[in-house]
Amino acid sequence: MCNLYRMDRAATEIAHIFDATLSSDFAWQEDIYPRYTAPVVISARGERRLGPMRWGFPTEVPGKTKMLTKHVTNARNLSSPMWRPSLARRRCLVPFTRFAEPAPGKDADGRPAQHWFTISDQPVAAFAGLWRPTEDGPVFAFCTTEPNPLVAPLHPKAMPVVLGVDEQETWLTGSVEEALALQAPYPSQLMTVG
């Protein structure tokens, strides 16, 4: 699953691209991993707002001797009780410039290798995201779907739901049925891998 993506633009540029009000100036790491803070766009009181959220819905799961907190980053089954409240009331856009899926082996620096995907028709694209408040501040996850023909040979399990520019407002403010219709693979011809 996609557990690494990149956002290498400044908050002011992201706010401009997504026609959002910047809630406050904040920083993030260019490479975003689970539990990292990232820029997220929500719709509130009829306007878009860009602010920081942490990646991953905390969920208690049983361990061998005690309950453990797992941070769920990808939402596939949107009919699950875990995702339904956010799908109904708290959808968001998760801006990114590239996303990664694991590749076999190590890279030149000895880290796990990655296949990096870029959306060629959008300099800054957005995942279809869900968010919720927690005691430690808001958190988000993004939706996944079947992989398209470009992603499938490299990662056959799934790919993130990438929204077209004309789909972003529907994701944020449309009905649940309209939002669910957007849970589809992004066209391969509008992506590159490197």
What is the set of domains in the chain, with CATH numbers?
5-193 (3.90.1680.10)
Query: Is pLDDT at 82 greater than 90 in this prediction?
Result: yes
pLDDT of res. 63? 83
One-letter identity of residue 49:
R
Query: Is pLDDT at 23 greater than 90 in this prediction?
Result: no
Kindly state the average pLDDT of the residues 173-189: 97
Distance of CA 44 to the CA centre of its chain: 19
Beta bridge partners of 139: 54, 132
Instruction: Evaluate whether 101 touches 2 at the Cβ level (below 8 Å).
Output: yes
Kindly state the average pLDDT of the residues 131-140: 96
CA dihedral (151, 157, 163, 167) positive or negative:
positive
Instruction: Evaluate whether 140 touches 87 at the Cβ level (below 8 Å).
Output: no
Q: Give the neighbor-by-neighbor strand order of the sheet with 5-6.
A: 31-32, 5-6, 98-106, 112-119, 191-193
One-letter identity of residue 146:
E
Give the count of beta carbons closer than 10 Å to the beta carbon of residue 194: 7
Query: Is pLDDT at 62 greater than 90 in this prediction?
Result: no
Kindly state the average pLDDT of the residues 48-60: 95
Dump the DSSP string for 149-191. TTTTTT--S-EE-EEPGGGHHHHHHS-HHHHHTT-SPPPGGGE
Kindly state the average pLDDT of the residues 116-124: 96
Query: Is pLDDT at 1 greater than 70 in this prediction?
Result: no
Query: Is pLDDT at 60 greater than 70 in this prediction?
Result: yes
pLDDT of res. 42? 98
Q: What percent of the chain has pLDDT over 70?
A: 99
What confidence category does residue 68 fall into, taking pLDDT thresholds of 50, 70 and 90?
Answer: confident
Kindly state the average pLDDT of the residues 23-27: 85
* Global confidence as pTM: 0.94
Give me 4's structure tokens: 């690494």
